[in-house]
Chain A
Amino acid sequence: MKMHRYEEIWLALSFGILIIFMLVVGYQTFAMGMGPPSHKETIDPQKVDETAPFDNPGVFQTGDNEYEVVMTLQTFGFTPSNIEVPVGAEVTFTMTSKDVVHGFQVAGTNLNAMVMPGHIQKITQTFKEPGEYLVLCNEYCGIGHQMMSTTIFVK
C-alpha cells in the first residue's frame, strides 16, 4: 500500500501523540497512584446491613490524619448522610449499594465512582480546601434520582 508522504508524516505524529498519551496515563496510574477506582472485593447485595463494615456505616479515624467513610447507597440517599472530615486528611470512601446501580460523585473534585450491588468500591481523596462539598448520585437509579445527594463538610 503506497501512502502519501505527508500522510505518513501526519500518521507518525498522530501515532506518537497517542503513545505519549498512553505513557502519561500509565505513569499516572502506576507510578503516581492516580488510577481509577477499581476495588475487587464482593459482598452479598441482599445482606449488606448484616455484613461488616456496612452494618455500621459512618466516619472513622483510621490513623494519623487518615479517615475512612463507610457508606451504603440506596434509593434515594447516602448513609451516613452528613459527613464531616478535617482539611488535609486522607479520606477513603468504602461503599456498596443495597439495591440498584448508583453513582458517587463529589462536584468540584475528581471523586467519581460507580457503586454496584454485590461489589465494594473504594476511592481516596484529600480535601485541601475547606467547604461544603456536594455529593450526588450520577447514575439514574429511579424516580427520586434527582434528590439523591448529601454534603461533605470539610473544616
Chain B
Amino acid sequence: METVINKTNLKKTNKNKTMKEKAHQILGVVPEDAKLSKSYMAVAFIALLIGGFLGLFQGLERAGLLQLPSWFTYYQVLTAHGILLVLVLTAFFTIGYFYAGMSHTLGGLLPQVRKMAWIGFWMKIVGFVVAVIPVLMNEATVLYTFYPPMAASPFFYIGLALIVLGVWMCAFGAFINVAKWRKSNPGKHIPIFAFFATGVFVLLFFGSIGVTVEVVTLIFWSAGLLETINVMVSRTLFWAFGHTLVNIWYLTAVSAWYVIVPKIIGGRRFSDTLTRVVVILLVVTNIPGGFHHQIVDPGMSQVLKFLHVFMSLSIAFPSLMTAFALFYVFERTGRAKGGKGLLGWLKKLPWGDVRFLAPFIAMVAFIPAGAGGIAQTTNQLNQVVHNTLWVVGHFHLTVGTSVILTFFGITYWLIPYLSKRVLTPAMNKVGVIQTIIWTVGMLFMSGSMHYVGLLGSPRRTSYTTYGDHVVALGWDPYMFLLAIGGTLLIIGVLIQVYAVFHMMFLAPKGETEFPIAEPEEAEEKTPMWTDRWGLWIVIMLLVVSMGYVIPLVDLIVNAPPGSPPFRTW
C-alpha cells in the first residue's frame, strides 16, 4: 500500500486507509515489500547453510576427527563461519523481519524507503563479496574480530565498511518510515512492532559508529598509508560494537516473544507501557556492555573495570522484566483456556505448534544463557573463563539457541505470509522435529563447550594436544561430544533451509496473517513519554560517554608507540 497521506484530505484518506488496512489483513502483504523481505530472508538462509557447514568442519577438526586441507585452513574456515553467521545471517534476517513488520504495521513502506532498503541490500552483498574474496584467498585470515596489528588485505576492511554502510541505509530507511507515520498519525503511539524496530535500528546505527571509525582507520593502515595503529583503541572501539550487535539480535528475538508469541498461543500482550520501557532500557544501557570483553586487558584501571561491571549488569534488569512478562502471559493464557492448579496451565499451551515451541525453547535456553552472561560480566568469574571454550558455549546458547531458534520459529509464519502461502500440518511437523534436533544438538555442543572451558580449553584454536600434555588430553572426550552436537546441528540446518525455501516457493497457496497480539484489556493508557525517541537517544549517548570517554581518552593520551601491520598466517 503506497499511502502517502496529504494533510488536506487526512480525514478522507484515513477512512480509506482503515478500509485498506482491513483489506490488507485479509489480502496480506504489499507485493513489493514482500519481495524485499523475501530476498533478505533468502540471503540469510543461504548464509546459514554455508556457514553451518563451515561450523561442522570446524567442530570435526577441533575434535581431531578431520584434517582441513592446506588450501582452506581451520582459521580461514573460522573467519568465514563468523562472518557468514554473525554478520550475514543475523543482519539479513533482522532487516527482512523488521521491514516486513514495518510494512505491515505502518501501512506499507514508503517508496523511497523501499528503494533505500534495496540499495542497502546490494551494498551489503557487494561488501560481503569484497570481504570474503580475500578470506578465500587466505589474505584475510584474521577472524571476524580482526584484532590489529594482525593485518588483512585492505579489501577485507573495505568490504566490512560497505556492509556497515548498507546497514545504515536500512536504519535510516526505518527512521524515515516511522517519522512519516508519526506525522500522519498525530497523538498515536508508534505501533509496538515498529517501536521494537526503531530500537533495533537506533542501536544498529549508534552501536556501529565506533567500529566504523576503527575499520576506516584499518583500511588506510593496511594499505600502508598509515604507519602504525593504536591496538587498544581499535580493540575498545570493536567491542563497543561487538557486544551491542549481540544484544541487537537478542532485542529482535525479544520483539517476537512480546508481540508475536502471545498471539500464536491465543493470548494478549503484557502491559504495553512495560514493553516499551524494556525496549528503551535495552537501548539506553546496551552499548557500554561490550566492555566486559576487556576485563583482563592491560592499560585500564580496576576502578574503571568495576564501573563497567555495573554498566554491564544493568542490561540484565530489562531482561529480568522480560522473564516475568513472558511467563505471566503464558500462565494467564493457559488459565484462560481452562488450565487448573499450580502448573495445569502449562498443558494448555500449544506444544505441537512450531511457531510456539521454537521460541519457547529459545526463552528457556535464555535462563542459563543469561545467567552465564551475568557471570562473565564480573571481574573474577570472567578471568576464569576468558577466551576459553566456555565463551563459545555461551554464545552458542544465547545467539545460537535463544536468538536463532526464535528466528526459526518466526520463519514458519513469516515466510508463508510473505509468499502468500500457508503452513501445512506436515511442514509444522518438520518444524517440530527440526526444533528438537537443534535443541539436542545445542545441548551437546554448548554443554560440552561450557564444561571444557571451565577446565581451561581455549577458544579459537585448531586441533592440538599441546605436545600430548596430560591436561590437554583430558579435554578430548568433551571435544567428541562437541562434534556429535555439531553433526546434529548440521542436520537441523539442512531441515531448516529446506523448510524456508519450501515455504517460499512450493507450499500451497493461501493467506497467512502477521500475528500481532493486542494488549491486555482494561489497561491504563500508555504515557506519551515512551515515544520520545530523541530523549532516549540523548540519554543513551550520555550513558555511552560515561562508559567510554575515560578509557578512550586515557588510551589515546597515554598511548604507546603504535604497531605496524603483521601477517602471521
Residues of A within 8 A of B (CB): 1-4, 6-7, 10-11, 14-15, 18, 21-22, 25-26, 28-30, 34-40, 42-46, 75, 99-101, 103, 105-108, 110, 112-121, 132, 134, 136-147, 149, 151
Contacts and interface: CB of A to CB of B under 8 A. Distances in A.
Interface string B367-388: 0000000100011101110111
A1 B527 contact: yes
B564 A110 contact: no
B380 A36 contact: yes
A25 B379 contact: yes
11 contacts: A7-B324, A14-B316, A21-B378, A35-B306, A38-B302, A99-B566, A101-B150, A107-B472, A112-B296, A116-B297, A142-B568
Contact of A35 (B379, B388, B562): B379
B55 interface: no
Contacts of A45: 149, 231, 560-563
B274 A146 contact: no
A121 B320 contact: no
Given A29-B302, A45-B563, A134-B471, A21 B374 contact: yes
A38 B301 contact: yes
A146 B568 CA distance: 13
A106 B466 CA distance: 13
A34 B296 CA distance: 12
A29 B303 CA distance: 9
B333 to A, nearest CB: 15
Contacts of B147: 100-101, 139
Given A38-B302, A99-B568, A117-B149, A145 B461 contact: yes
B208 to A, nearest CB: 22
A108 B306 CA distance: 25
B264 interface: no
Given A18-B316, A36-B380, A38-B302, A143 B73 contact: yes
Interface stretch (B26-34, B125-133, B411-419, B451-459): B451-459
A36 B387 contact: no
B305 interface: yes
Nearest to A3: B274
Contact of A114 (B296, B458, B461, B524): B296
Contacts of B335: none
Given A36-B380, A42-B559, A119-B232, A143 B569 contact: yes
B319 to A, nearest CB: 9
Interface string B280-322: 0000000000000011111111100110011001001100110
A115 B455 CA distance: 21
B302 A7 contact: no
Given A35-B305, A143-B568, A118 B562 contact: yes
A74 to B, nearest CB: 10
Contacts of A11: 317, 320-321, 324
Interface of B: 73, 75, 78, 141, 143, 147, 149-150, 230-232, 235, 271, 273-274, 277, 294-302, 305-306, 309-310, 313, 316-317, 320-321, 323-325, 328, 374, 378-380, 382-384, 386-388, 455-464, 466-467, 469-472, 524, 527, 558-564, 566, 568-569
B274 A1 contact: yes
A138 B273 contact: no
B566 A100 contact: yes
B458 A103 contact: yes
A151 B469 CA distance: 9
Nearest to B319: A14
Contacts, number: 227
B296 A113 contact: yes
A136 B379 contact: no
Given A18-B313, A18-B374, A45-B231, 12 more contacts: A10-B320, A11-B320, A28-B379, A29-B305, A36-B305, A37-B298, A107-B456, A116-B231, A119-B232, A138-B459, A139-B387, A140-B461
3 closest Cβ pairs, A-B complex: A142-B568, A107-B456, A118-B560
A11 B563 CA distance: 47
Contacts of A137: 458
A42 B301 contact: no
Contacts of B305: 29, 35-36, 38
B38 to A, nearest CB: 37
A34 B8 CA distance: 68
Contacts of A103: 386-387, 458
B472 A134 contact: yes
A136 B569 CA distance: 18
B277 A1 contact: yes
A108 B143 contact: no
Task: Point out which of A4, A43, A106, A114 has the most chain B C-beta atoms below 10 A from its C-beta.
Answer: A114
B463 to A, nearest CB: 7
A38 B456 contact: no
Contacts of B141: 143
Given A35-B302, A105-B387, A146-B463, A140 B469 contact: no
B298 A121 contact: yes
A3 B271 CA distance: 8
Given A1-B273, A25-B378, A100-B147, A119 B388 contact: no
A82 to B, nearest CB: 12
A141 B568 contact: yes
B310 A15 contact: no
B46 to A, nearest CB: 27
B387 A108 contact: no
Contact of A40 (B300, B382, B388, B527): B300
Contacts of A7: 321, 324-325, 328
A35 B458 CA distance: 22
A146 B58 CA distance: 14
Contact of B298 (A25, A108, A116, A151): A116
Nearest to B314: A18
Contacts of B323: 10
B8 to A, nearest CB: 38
B379 A138 contact: no
Task: Point out which of A112, A149, A151 has the most chain B C-beta atoms below 10 A from its C-beta.
Answer: A112
Contact of B560 (A10, A30, A119, A145): A119
Task: Point out which of A6, A75, A100, A151 has the most chain B C-beta atoms below 10 A from its C-beta.
Answer: A100
B435 to A, nearest CB: 28
B384 A112 contact: yes
